[in-house]
Amino acid sequence: MSEPVEKYTAIVMQPHVEVATDRAGIESNLKRALDLVDFGVGYFWEVPVRLAVFPEYFLQGVTTPGKGEHGLEEFMKKAISFEDDAVQALIAKCREYGMYIAGGGLVEKTAEFPDRWFNTAFILGPGGVELVYRKYNVPASIGLGTSPHDMWDEYKAAFGTDIKDLFPVLDTPIGKLGCMTCHDGATPEVSRALGFNGVEVICHPVALQEFEGVSEPWDFWMFSRRTRAHDNMAYLLGSNWGTVDYKYYPKAFCSGNSFAIDYTGMVMRHAPYPEEQVLAAVIDIEALREHRTRINHNMWVDVRTEAFRQIYESPIYPPNLFPSGNPPKNLAHKMTGAYASMDAMYERGQFVMPFDKRGMKHSELLKSRIADAQGRGALRKD
């Protein structure tokens, strides 16, 4: 019989982030991240820290529509691989403390597909790079990184598209760890795939804007992620930016509200403000495993798949939109993926156009809105 998993502390990092344009910006973010790990490990010393979760883009930052929007060229200038010195410094910190560090939004360049970047989450540990997850649900309107779905056939040949390839779970001495990134948590599928693969702790890095319902009264971030934890009977550690330096952003653009949620969906810790913070929660994997032995209110025991297959039989958002030679160049280019998916939902009667737009195809409406925004300088046009 294996040894029980000892209780440990997980720290959820809510750092100040600089939107980097060069190496100096990456180094500044890295230094702050390492200092915050040192603080967390020292302050929460009684139950040892074994896991830290950083937010999306915590090393490089990200841009959104408007005058500050970066295109492909600007992102590729700050893209790095897992061999980079910044990643190696984080691995050294893991080895120093015998811990794991999860983070997201690495603007990752790969040898396999050098003409674009991936929004990549990771888990680093004493053994080095121990898990790599490339964000699957990149929003159509925000997020220039390539999803594996955007080049499905080529990605399959290079990295595989089995559910365990796309949504990996790492079996460690502190439990089974997995990652999902920001918009992945807005719908149930990615967390469900992680649950299918046995995840016990979901590391959830985000760069979630106040516009997306981070705070009350909407509070979409909290209620949807409590649901993801509850549905899969897994801890969920959600890490958002504290504050940001970028001349086109308000300081509280991604307004904190990081949290730790337990395997029943209850909130353990919460930082309900946009400021730098380190949260700590004690993780009890053995209690989670005991909870999962019970069939009453067990969110997996009653899964009955047959009736729901039709939802997924036909593509909604089309695959292979951005193959080699055609990476997403800017956000307007990336939004073309929504043409087919929106038209399909209206054509089958799932959605109904408002009265004043009856007879229009949604793709034509979206094209006109994009063109108007470009004309006003609100969206980049290359």
The DSSP secondary structure of 126-156, one letter per residue, reads TTEEEEEEE-S---SSS--SBPGGGGHHHHH
The answer on pLDDT for 198 being more than 70 is: yes
- pLDDT tens by residue, 68-79: 999 999 999 999
Q: What is the dihedral of CA 58, 62, 68, 74, to 10 degrees?
A: 110
pLDDT band of 225, cuts 50, 70, 90: very high
Buried-exposed string 109-142: b where 16+ CB fall within 10 A, e elsewhere: bbeebeebbbbbbbbbbbeeebbbbbbbbbbbeb
Answer yes or no: do 155 and 198 share one domain.
yes
- pLDDT tens by residue, 354-382: 999 999 999 999 999 999 999 999 999 87
Answer yes or no: do 108 and 243 share one domain.
yes
- Does a structural domain hold residue 304? no
Taken in order 143, 268, 279, 88, is the CA torsion positive or negative?
negative
Answer yes or no: do 73 and 15 share one domain.
yes
The answer on pLDDT for 58 being more than 80 is: yes
Q: Which residue has the tokens 């729901």?
A: 308
Provide the β-strand partners of residue 104: 56
pLDDT (0 to 100) of residue 382: 78
How many angstroms from the chain centroid is the CA of residue 370?
A: 26
- Does a structural domain hold residue 1? no
Mean pLDDT of the chain: 97
The answer on pLDDT for 150 being more than 80 is: yes
The helix or strand, by DSSP H or E, that contains position 38, with its residue range, turns out to be helix 23-43
Q: Which domain holds residue 125?
A: 8-292
Answer yes or no: do 31 and 148 share one domain.
yes
- Does a structural domain hold residue 303? no
The stretch 273-302 carries a mean pLDDT of: 97
CA distances from 361 to 54, 95, 342, 347, 367 (A): 41, 56, 9, 9, 10
- Does a structural domain hold residue 317? yes
The answer on pLDDT for 2 being more than 90 is: no
Are 135 and 165 spatial neighbours (Cβ–Cβ below 8 Å)? no
- Does a structural domain hold residue 307? no
DSSP symbols for 164-191: HHHS-EEEETTEEEEE--GGGGGSSHHH
Cα 313 from Cα 145, distance rounded (Å): 26
The domain boundary, picked from 259, 292, 325, lies at 292
The answer on pLDDT for 125 being more than 90 is: yes
Are 288 and 233 spatial neighbours (Cβ–Cβ below 8 Å)? yes
pLDDT (0 to 100) of residue 50: 98
CB atoms within 10 A of CB 101: 25
The stretch 173-189 carries a mean pLDDT of: 98
- Does a structural domain hold residue 300? no
Answer yes or no: do 272 and 321 share one domain.
no
The domain boundary, picked from 292, 320, 345, lies at 292
How many angstroms from the chain centroid is the CA of residue 32?
A: 21
What is the percent of the chain where pLDDT is above 70?
A: 100
Answer yes or no: do 270 and 343 share one domain.
no
Number of domains in the chain: 2
Cα 26 from Cα 80, distance rounded (Å): 10
Cα 205 from Cα 247, distance rounded (Å): 23
Answer yes or no: do 267 and 329 share one domain.
no
pLDDT (0 to 100) of residue 1: 61
The domain boundary, picked from 292, 326, 351, lies at 292
Answer yes or no: do 118 and 249 share one domain.
yes
Answer yes or no: do 258 and 342 share one domain.
no
pTM value is 0.97
pLDDT (0 to 100) of residue 112: 98
Answer yes or no: do 176 and 29 share one domain.
yes
- Does a structural domain hold residue 67? yes
Are 253 and 209 spatial neighbours (Cβ–Cβ below 8 Å)? yes
CATH number at residue 215: 3.60.110.10
- Does a structural domain hold residue 54? yes
Answer yes or no: do 362 and 267 share one domain.
no
Answer yes or no: do 272 and 319 share one domain.
no
